[in-house]
């Protein structure tokens, strides 16, 4: 009898499940036991290797896929429409996410009644870097345009993306004259995607290793100290990811949530395990093209852009955390202040790079915009890595749904033009 090997999808889910189970198994042996130490060493090695491999292909992938994506879009004469619907969807879905986060906080009031003295120590020893919205904006703009060679070498995803956009537009305008360069880039992109396929074969092990490490090294007891806040954030992220986003998808495209998740789960599990939208990008792109059948030129444009600027989970978290901190210090934010939180949270999410805990750094700006003590993030830091898992999964889900929505809108737009 021939044994049938489970599909990669199943292997990844199995890896995730085994990782969590194994992690708890090691915890029960004790954090200091020899078995835990050596297992953690191996898990760290395998997990880091997996992330390194993903990062290895990230920059060539963003560069070639955006340049080729833009060039191909023009061939379809729909470039403006794709641009507008992509950015429109990103702003819309992040706004909805922030509203979900704010509402949940208004209903459950996490932080009220928690004694701040409990955290006073953490706050006094923590020094937050000053980062006003104005500073942040200047730095953000400055980081957009860089020497492309330096940007490629330093792995500055946003700057690489901007240069690739320019290159794509130049290729379009040059048309026939530069067609060899376009072919070269297309072939490079295919080669990178081939590498992604190879890397995917070790994904189940990488994900298992990352989850073992997460379970063993995080202080899960801390979750209960900040239990209510963690529960509210988890609940609102789930509401956004399981109800709101799929509903938008269904209303616009008619695709059922189950069908979507079946196609998207490799990317969602990877996002959960790596806590990095950037590292997940190669897999996200593969999922939407292969499993969800988004046309190449749309996927190659929407997904890398989304991985860099569209972060529903981060936006939701930043807004919720600002209200939580306000509750902790006993301040009632008025409507105007909440509107400021709304806008700065969106801005902070757009500006956060797709790496673990990036949202924590840009959160300083959100807190300071309404006069809350930036040091308060010291309170959130210990549970940040844990909440980052779900928030990153929501970020990646938003990108994938974005590509499906844009594809549908472009199709309808084309029809109405005919």
Give contact residues for ligand ASP (rule: CB under 6 A): 275-277, 311, 314, 352, 354-359, 388, 391-392, 395
- Tell the smallest beta-carbon distance from residue 175 to ligand ASP (Å): 37
Which of 393, 321, 301 minimizes the C-alpha distance to 363? 321
Nearest by Cα to 410 from 169, 93, 78: 78
Residue 18 makes CB contacts below 8 A (sequence gap 6+) with 208
- Note the Cα 98 to chain centre separation in Å: 15
Of 110 and 359, nearer to ligand ASP (C-beta) is 359
DSSP state for residue 374 in the 8-state scheme: G
Q: Are 280 and 394 in contact (CB under 8 A)?
A: no
Q: CA 8, CA 290: separation in Å to the nearest integer?
A: 13
| Nearest to ligand ASP of 19, 353 (CB atom) | 353
- CA 210 to CA 270: how far, in whole Å? 10
* Unique residue bearing structure tokens 């209510």: 228
Instruction: Give me the long-range contacts of 409-418 (CB less than 8 A, separation at least 24).
Output: 409/81, 409/85, 409/252, 410/78, 410/81, 410/82, 410/85, 410/298, 413/78, 413/81, 413/85, 414/78
Query: Which C-beta is closer to ligand ASP: that of 275 or that of 407?
Result: 275
Q: Which is nearer to ligand ASP, 74 or 280 (CB)?
A: 280
Cβ-closest position to ligand ASP: 359
Q: How far is the CB of 395 from ligand ASP (least distance, A)?
A: 4
Please identify, using beta-carbon distances, which residue of 70 and 244 lies nearer to ligand ASP: 244
- Nearest distance in Å: CB 74, ligand ASP: 29
Structure tokens at 410: 């472009």
Which CB atom, from 289 or from 399, has the smaller least distance to ligand ASP? 399
Q: How far is the CB of 201 from ligand ASP (least distance, A)?
A: 23
Supply the minimum distance, in Å, between the C-beta of residue 319 and ligand ASP. 12
Q: Are 215 and 27 in contact (CB under 8 A)?
A: yes
Least distance to ligand ASP, CB of residue 356, Å: 5
Q: Tell me which residue of 366, 303, 297 sits closest to 128, measured CA to CA.
A: 366
Q: Given the complex with ligand ASP, which of 193 and 281 has the nearer CB atom?
A: 281
Q: How far is the CB of 250 from ligand ASP (least distance, A)?
A: 24
């Amino acid at each position: 009898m021939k044994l049938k090997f489970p599909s990669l999808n199943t292997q990844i889910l199995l890896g995730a499940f085994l990782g969590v189970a194994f992690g708890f198994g090691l915890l029960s042996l004790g954090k200091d036991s020899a078995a835990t130490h050596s297992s953690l060493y191996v898990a760290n090695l395998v997990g880091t290797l997996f992330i390194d491999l993903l990062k290895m292909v990230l920059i060539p992938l963003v560069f070639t896929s955006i340049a080729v994506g833009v060039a191909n879009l023009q061939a379809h004469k729909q470039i403006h429409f794709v641009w507008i619907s992509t950015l429109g969807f990103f702003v819309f879905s992040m706004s909805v996410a922030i509203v979900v986060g704010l509402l949940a906080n208004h209903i459950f009031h996490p932080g009220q009644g928690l004694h701040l003295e409990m955290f006073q120590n953490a706050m006094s020893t923590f020094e937050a870097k000053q980062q006003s919205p104005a500073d942040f904006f200047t730095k953000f703009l400055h980081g957009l345009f860089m020497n492309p060679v330096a940007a490629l070498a330093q792995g500055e995803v946003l700057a690489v993306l901007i240069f690739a956009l320019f290159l794509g537009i130049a290729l379009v305008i040059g048309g026939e004259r530069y067609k060899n360069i376009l072919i070269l880039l297309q072939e490079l992109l295919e080669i990178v995607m081939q590498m992604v396929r190879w890397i995917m074969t070790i994904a189940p092990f990488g994900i298992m290793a990352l989850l073992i490490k997460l379970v063993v090294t995080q202080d899960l007891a801390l979750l209960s100290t900040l239990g209510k806040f963690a529960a509210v954030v988890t609940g609102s992220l789930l509401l956004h990811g399981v109800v709101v986003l799929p509903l938008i998808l269904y209303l616009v495209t008619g695709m059922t949530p189950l069908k979507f998740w079946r196609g998207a789960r490799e990317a969602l599990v990877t996002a959960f395990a790596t806590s990095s939208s950037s590292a997940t990008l190669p897999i996200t792109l593969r999922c939407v093209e292969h499993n969800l059948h988004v046309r190449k030129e749309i996927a190659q444009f929407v997904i890398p852009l989304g991985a860099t600027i569209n972060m529903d989970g981060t936006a939701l978290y930043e807004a919720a955390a600002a209200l939580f901190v306000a509750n902790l210090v006993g301040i009632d934010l008025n409507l105007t202040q909440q509107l400021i939180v709304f806008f700065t949270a969106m801005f902070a999410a757009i500006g956060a790079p797709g790496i673990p805990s990036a949202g924590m750094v840009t959160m300083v700006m959100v807190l300071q915009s309404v006069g809350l003590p930036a040091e308060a993030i010291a309170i959130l830091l210990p549970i940040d890595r844990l909440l980052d898992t779900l928030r990153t999964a929501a970020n990646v889900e938003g990108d994938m749904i974005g590509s499906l929505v844009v594809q549908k809108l472009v199709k309808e737009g084309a029809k109405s033009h005919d």
